[in-house]
Chains A and B, each alone.
Chain A
Amino acid sequence: MSYHEKQSIAAIVSNLVIWTIYAWIMVGRFPDGGASPEIFRFWGRAFLILIPVMIVARIITTIIFVASNTIATGEEVPSISDERDKLIELRGLRMSYYGFIAGFMGAMAALAFGATPNVMFLIIAGAMVGSDILEEITKFRLYRRGF
């Protein structure tokens, strides 16, 4: 298994772990009420806090992955990112956009069919997780078969 394939698997696992922990913390603070302003404030805060949390968590998980991979296999981090790497990255990103757009449309459809704002925000949060994972799965698949 190549470095990039392992990196994709590590990213999927870390994404799932980070989102699970974050969701666990946020569930405890979940306000009651269908469409009160408090609900919107809660979700606004939740998404804003999520950005620095994800950045820091990704830096930490990347460091852990690189260190553990180097210790376990002696494999060095690839020093270059060539044209194939960039194309794979772009294809992964494209799938991520498709995933998120699908989730966003699903969230809007839920609202249109009478779901509460909580459900809409949950679907959007789910789309964020799903699109991240979809991106890594796409990259893994492309690296696995060559392109």
Chain B
Amino acid sequence: MGRTAVRNSIRTWRFHADEMTQQDLAERVGVTRQTIVAIEKARYAPSLELAFRIARTFEAPLEEVFSFDEDAADEPRSQE
């Protein structure tokens, strides 16, 4: 099943933020918990705005929360 080339360390950042729950993060950035789950599993690449919102929640630069996997980007990903 296709994973996006956008990787993230949200789980680690949540841990460092007093074990913030996915629901808590979702409410802070204005999305559903399922969307946070999908982003953490790299199933869904968030919009730039949402990525910034998530990074700002952890008071971290965007590139420390999200990264781009060059190898995964080269693999063909099924599109609907």
Q: How far is the CB of A109 from chain B (nearest CB, A)?
A: 26
Q: Mark B36-63, 1 if CB is under 8 A from A, else 0.
A: 0110010110110010000000000000
Residue contact A94 to B31, C-beta cutoff 8 Å = no
The one of A84, A95, A145, A147 that contacts B31, using a Cβ cutoff of 8 Å: A84
Residue contact B80 to A83, C-beta cutoff 8 Å = no
Residue contact A145 to B80, C-beta cutoff 8 Å = no
Chain A residues with CB below 8 A from B1, complex form? 145
A80 to B36, CA, bound (A): 14
Chain A residues with CB below 8 A from B38, complex form? 84, 146-147
Q: How far is the CB of A140 from chain B (nearest CB, A)?
A: 13
Residue contact A146 to B80, C-beta cutoff 8 Å = no
A95 to B37, CA, bound (A): 25
A138 to B79, CA, bound (A): 12
- Judged by a CB distance under 8 angstroms, whether B32 is at the interface is yes
Residue contact A95 to B44, C-beta cutoff 8 Å = no
Known: A83-B50, A84-B38, A94-B80. A145 touches B43 (CB 8 A): yes
Known: A78-B32, A84-B35. A146 touches B43 (CB 8 A): yes
**CB-based nearest A residue for B50:** A83
Residue contact B30 to A82, C-beta cutoff 8 Å = yes
- Judged by a CB distance under 8 angstroms, whether A143 is at the interface is yes
Chain A residues with CB below 8 A from B21, complex form? none
A107 to B66, CA, bound (A): 49
User: A residues bordering B, Cβ < 8 Å?
Assistant: 2, 4, 78, 80, 82-85, 91, 94-95, 138, 142-143, 145-147
A-B contacts, 12 of them at CB < 8 A, read A78-B32, A80-B32, A82-B32, A82-B35, A83-B35, A83-B47, A83-B50, A84-B34, A84-B44, A85-B32, A146-B41, A147-B38
